Amino acid sequence: MPSISPIYLEDLAVGQVFRSGPTEIGVDRIRSFAAEFDPQPFHLDEDAASSSLFGRLVASGWQTAAITMRLLVDGELKIAGGLIGLGVESIRWPRPVYPGDVLRVESEIVEVRPSHSNPDRGIVRIRSTTFNQDDQPVMIQTASLVVPRRPGHQP
Amino acid sequence: MPSISPIYLEDLAVGQVFRSGPTEIGVDRIRSFAAEFDPQPFHLDEDAASSSLFGRLVASGWQTAAITMRLLVDGELKIAGGLIGLGVESIRWPRPVYPGDVLRVESEIVEVRPSHSNPDRGIVRIRSTTFNQDDQPVMIQTASLVVPRRPGHQP
């Protein structure tokens, strides 16, 4: 569902799917993110990682989450006013992200609900799955976004 | 609950609280994270942010999440083998993080459960609240961690 004009609440319906382009995660990106945000041996050093639960160097799950956000911002879901999250109700990391993995995101609309307290907006629940190059999910999250109603809509 | 030796499943009990030190988020950190992971106007530019839902420049919620991870890694909860998340069951961002905010984290153990399939480990659910300098929560998350049992425990 490619889209150029900004998306309003009225444009969204349960079951719609929005996609992103791909991005590769090299070992340098894994190490530099880890050094700043998650300096644990299994994210920093191949040798130390080999004796960890993972058995080899893996990306921080929070890096996967941050990269997923970037893919969403650059992807098809161009919400008017931006992608503004109210909260996340679930994140799972069913398998690790390894150096050289190529990630992309598919997002499905799971609920569209006008706000009663703020008639100019609504809440949209969206399930985003981040896949690696083998189409295996590496992160699955369900989040709630604030989405404006189209200006001039009849309440 | 300061701790020097690594923490095993047997050391954890519901209600224990672990704390982190503080970290300041300057405007440069907000902009550089946003440029890489969440390039939306309200995270990048004070002028553009003034006409957004937030009214001023705010940090990406994913930056707050990543900084929270760093505070946890550097904080009192020194789990043997590291902080390894299985998943997150909830994240809320009850208020924005602004340039100059100073964040810290308090984590409370909410469940300790030995694994039946892997007798050498257990699952610990933990609720971490990230506070600003006015002791207002800016992020509340509940996550599940994999925690090893003490070597030589009797199953």
Instruction: Give pLDDT tens digits for A37-56.
Output: 999 999 999 998 998 888 99
Rounded distance, CA A151 to CA B83, Å? 46
Rounded distance, CA A113 to CA A126, Å? 12
Residues in chain B: 155
The alpha carbon dihedral of B53, B57, B60, B65 has a sign of negative
Classify B12 as helix, strand or coil. coil
- Per-residue confidence (pLDDT) for residue A51, from 0 to 100: 87
CB contact under 8 A, A41 and B82: yes
Size of interface A-B (CB pairs under 8 A): 88
Residue in B closest to A58 by C-alpha: B84
Mean pLDDT of A4-31: 95
Query: Is 70 exceeded by the pLDDT of residue A155?
Result: no
Give the pTM. Answer: 0.94
B106 touches chain A (CB under 8 A): no
All domains of chain A, ordered by start, with CATH? Answer: 9-148 (3.10.129.10)
DSSP B102-143: EEEEEEEEEEEEE-SS-TTEEEEEEEEEEE-TTS-EEEEEEE
Residue from B69, B83, B92 to probe the interface with A (highest A Cβ count within 10 Å): B69
Residue in B closest to A63 by C-alpha: B66
CB contact under 8 A, A62 and B62: yes
pLDDT cut 70: percent of chain A above it:
95
Rounded distance, CA B7 to CA B3, Å? 8
Query: Is 60 exceeded by the pLDDT of residue A1?
Result: no
Rounded distance, CA A41 to CA A17, Å? 37
B102 touches chain A (CB under 8 A): no
Tell me the pLDDT of chain B (155 aa) as tens digits: 555 689 999 999 999 999 999 999 999 999 999 999 999 999 999 998 998 888 999 999 999 999 999 999 999 999 998 999 989 999 999 999 999 999 999 999 999 999 999 999 999 999 999 999 999 999 999 999 999 999 887 65
Any idea what DSSP says for residue A7?
B
Angle, to 10 degrees, between the axis of helix A61-74 and the axis of helix A27-37? Answer: 110
Any idea what DSSP says for residue A48?
H
- Per-residue confidence (pLDDT) for residue A144, from 0 to 100: 96
Instruction: Give the pLDDT band (50/70/90) at residue A151.
Output: confident
Mean pLDDT of A125-144: 98
Rounded distance, CA A73 to CA A59, Å? 21
Residue from A60, A62, A146 to probe the interface with B (highest B Cβ count within 10 Å): A62
pLDDT digits (tens, 9 = 90+) for A68-108: 999 999 999 999 989 999 899 999 999 999 999 999 999 99
